[in-house]
Chain A
Amino acid sequence: DARVTQTPRHKVTEMGQEVTMRCQPILGHNTVFWYRQTMMQGLELLAYFRNRAPLDDSGMPKDRFSAEMPDATLATLKIQPSEPRDSAVYFCASARDDQPQHFGDGTRLSIL
């Protein structure tokens, strides 16, 4: 079965450090989403791309977060500098256009 691959699966780091999360979408999927999940806020959309072009990043704190898609097989989400309130599970999902989204296993991020 084709899967969305996210790395790392777990990340613990200190406040102020840069964090980079990576996502390999399913081959053939042209749309990539980044979500953040917390108990308080639920599943929030941070940003998404179609055909590598950013379509919407309104859910992302612009001062510290950035999302890119350097090529069709890699999407990245960076936090610099990281803060304790960024602790969450970050999911990447991919889809073909408006077809169902397939989620990766997530990156569990803890900022101390």
Chain B
Amino acid sequence: DQQVKQNSPSLSVQEGRISILNCDYTNSMFDYFLWYKKYPAEGPTFLISISSIKDKNEDGRFTVFLNKSAKHLSLHIVPSQPGDSAVYFCAASANRAGGADGLTFGKGTHLIIQP
């Protein structure tokens, strides 16, 4: 059973517009969420994160929104630029005693920015 779901395998957005990438989770123990971006032939790179005690975190053109009651988070990119074309992974973690566990990743959404 997939605990982190990215239901859109791909998303096409026009340059300059807003890109909204969605992520849903099922495990209520998750308390930290991260977005990673991946270009072809490269490893993922960290983009932005949010703790469950917040509902919004902003970093430049990137904003992540968290709706705990709906178990839903979204990544907004405004304005979208050609260099944003990549695969975006949503990831979540649960702070267990001992704190030694990894991330649970979604399957990824391929964002394509069209000129």
Partners in one complex: no
